[in-house]
Amino acid sequence: MAETVPADRRQRTQELRSQLQKASYAYYVLDAPDLPDEVYDRLYRELQKLEEQYPTLVTPDSPTQRVGERPASQFTALEHNIPLYSLENAFDIDEYRQWEVRWQRQTPDINEAPVVAELKIDGNALALTYENGLLTRGVTRGDGISGEDITQNVRTIRSIPLRLQIDNPPPRVEVRGEAFIPNDVFDRINAERQSKEEAPFANPRNAAAGTLRQLDSRVVAQRRLDFFAYTLLLPEGDGGLSVPQTQEGALNTLQKLGFKVNPNRKLCPTAIDVAQFYDYWDQARTKLPYLTDGVVVKLNDLALQRRLGFTQKFPRWAIALKYPAEEVPTILKNMSVQIGRTGAVTPVAELAPVQLAGTTVSRATLHNADRIAELNLHKGDTVIVRKAGEIIPEVVRVLSNLRPEGAERCQLPTHCPECNETLIRPADEAVTRCINPSCPAIVRGDLIHWTSRQALDIAGLGEKWVQQLLEQKLVNSVADLYELTVEDLLPLERMGQQLAQKLVDAIQASKAQPWSRVLFGLGIRHVGAVNAQLLTKEFYTAKLLTVADPKQIEAVYGIGPEIAYSVHEWFQSATNQRLIERLRAVGVQLEGPPPAAAPTDLPMAGKTFVLTGTLPTLNRKEAKAKIEECGGKVTGSVSSKTSYVVVGIDAGSKLAKAEKLGIQRLSEEDLLALLKNSASP
């Protein structure tokens, strides 16, 4: 029987909810409290009691729903509606001007355009989805293609509205921004952790990242994260909201919707204005209540943003103008080397511990042999260290005048420290490598990569267990994992029956991971998670990749010659072919669904297009979509089977090859006309 709620109780609930939402907005977004705390608490408790008495009154946007009732068991990976690209970095105004020249080259009809400069918040990017005005999804940036569904935790952030402040919202709105922990909250959290003899967080960004991934949203609520919105993705002409035409207008609209937007931003007509904004905040940022590591600059005109589009990694219409990293001196005690999973040899500086950007640093990368020679490193040198991109410590220079007498010069070893095989440096590479596939370091790297979250995602099988498996000679390749039994694992240090069973179950469950994850997990050079997805859509079985030649692989849209050659070489190796057969025998997924057959009744069916250069108004994704809508196929390389090559500004070698083969070339205007005429009845 349906619950009956008296009309006056329903009305009172709505009044309380409205009052509390307005008070929360005033307190957390406007920073202008309009309701005493004791009054807010009294109204909140009244609402709680009403919802407890009449559960049907509870709505997703109720202030009482900020904190989940029970901890989540895990986070689910969700694909972003639109990829979250990272930003290209510039580290001074000269590099910023070079970025200006690059985008202007793509638009010869536009010499200068206003930009919006916004402080770059040192936090964690989130993508929020609102459906009919209600918050329905909060996802971390992840790898830019997919992230973790942390909606339950996002709901605890008071500066994120649970309902948009608009009467007639569009069916779907996506908002992007940065979650962060203010400096005073960070200090309080670390003081509490130290009082409990827990390790303090290194910096607010790490604290925010760890907080967002808490399974218990009550812990997230206690840590008082904040949020600045900076991007609005809005469907055209839906709902009672006009679509902004500028970045400045988008920020103003976000404020109207109830979001907190950083007030420290400026519309800059010229690069001189950007430089002034950048220089001012370089000094003033120390007085801010949160950390900022630079200025994000975006072209103000959203139509121009769409016209410029994206590279494979970055938007062409935005750049992060970073402040110089903190630099500190310390002593180089020694130099060691690490062997990566591809055999790459990375020299590492062993340093006297020093505080740098909120963390204690005792090791720093030296990149490669050329960098060691350039620095002229000697043991005992006083070196200057900074964090590259404020993440990875690196040695930037040597104070040679302080060098101890008789100091030993640093240089790479001639033999691998793990397997004693001779190290090789290919003529066309800066990286020195161990090429022994049985090298323990390479095998260890392969296993750790295979078990990682983006690959086979074997829960619980971390680096320490992998190391023990290798030391006990229980595995020597990823295929060996699938033959492990509980009895094999029990002798491992700190291993019990229950944990051993969990690991075996997790390994067996990973057999169900799709072929794209398996391909990524194989650790082929240059094949990241995105490239693996591109390849497996075309080569939907491992057998197809085994027999494919480099040109066939390169024909996949988005795959270049270097990737194609690397994939081809890997699958031609007899050792790797045996590995594939072993994985097939134990039941790992080496096949995916075949691509859907292209309709044969569409006007461009059977026609193959290649895009080269930058088109005047369409980005490559848009051009590809239009061609495919008409039945055409877009590939990444020119061959005798190519029907048309679509040529934009700064076309490269593909155009030259097309001309050599006599393939018809099209401008963007020609392409649109061809597609339009072909589609006409």
- Point out the residues that are catalytic: 120
From CA 596, how far away is CA 244, in angstroms rounded?
38
User: Contact 521/455 with Cβ under 8 angstroms?
Assistant: yes
473-496: b or e for each residue (b if 16 or more CB lie within 10 Å)? Answer: ebbebbbbbbebebebbeebeeee
Does 298 show up as a binding residue in the annotation? yes
Does 308 show up as a binding residue in the annotation? no
Element (H, E) at 13: helix 7-28
Closest CA to 616 of 655, 647, 656: 647
Does 438 show up as a binding residue in the annotation? no
- The packing angle between helices 668-679 and 620-629, to 10°, is 20
Please give the angle made by the CA atoms of 381, 431 and 401, to the nearest 5 degrees: 15
Does 88 show up as a binding residue in the annotation? no
Tokens of 296: 């994000």
Does 73 show up as a binding residue in the annotation? no
Tokens of 623: 């051009």
Does 141 show up as a binding residue in the annotation? yes
Element (H, E) at 384: strand 382-388
Does 628 show up as a binding residue in the annotation? no
In the three-class reduction of DSSP (H, G, I as helix; E, B as strand; rest coil), residue 342 is classed as coil
End-to-end CA distance of the chain: 58
> Please, which residues bridge with residue 115 across strands?
268, 299
Does 475 show up as a binding residue in the annotation? no
Tokens of 651: 């076309």
Give the ranges where 524-602 is alpha helix by DSSP (H).
Answer: 529-538, 542-547, 550-554, 561-572, 574-586
Closest CA to 221 of 129, 155, 150: 155
Tokens of 451: 């078990």
Does 493 show up as a binding residue in the annotation? no
User: Contact 208/121 with Cβ under 8 angstroms?
Assistant: no
Does 38 show up as a binding residue in the annotation? yes
Does 37 show up as a binding residue in the annotation? yes
- Taken in order 236, 238, 241, 242, is the CA torsion positive or negative? positive
Q: What is the 3-state secondary structure (H, E, C) of 52-112?
A: HHCHHHCCCCCHHHCCCCCCCCCCCEEECCCCCCCCCEECCHHHHHHHHHHHHHHCCCCCC
- Residue 444 Cα distances to 364, 397, 464, 499, 520, angstroms: 22, 32, 10, 21, 16
- The packing angle between helices 93-106 and 271-284, to 10°, is 140
Closest CA to 125 of 141, 138, 137: 141
Does 69 show up as a binding residue in the annotation? no
- Chain centre distance of CA 534: 17
Please give the angle made by the CA atoms of 186, 192 and 198, to the nearest 5 degrees: 100
Closest CA to 458 of 510, 528, 412, 512: 510
Does 178 show up as a binding residue in the annotation? yes
Hey, what amino acid is at 388? A
| Residues sharing a CB contact under 8 Å with residue 385, sequence separation 6 or more, in sequence order | 327, 328, 329, 330, 349, 351, 354, 356, 361, 364, 393, 394, 395, 396
> DSSP string spanning 255-309?
HHTT----S-EEEESSHHHHHHHHHHHHHHGGGSSS-EEEEEEEESBHHHHHHH-
Q: Show binding-site residues.
A: 37-41, 86-87, 118, 141, 178, 298, 322, 416, 419, 439
Binding residues for Zn(2+): 416, 419, 439
Annotated binding site for NAD(+): 37-41, 86-87, 118, 141, 178, 298, 322
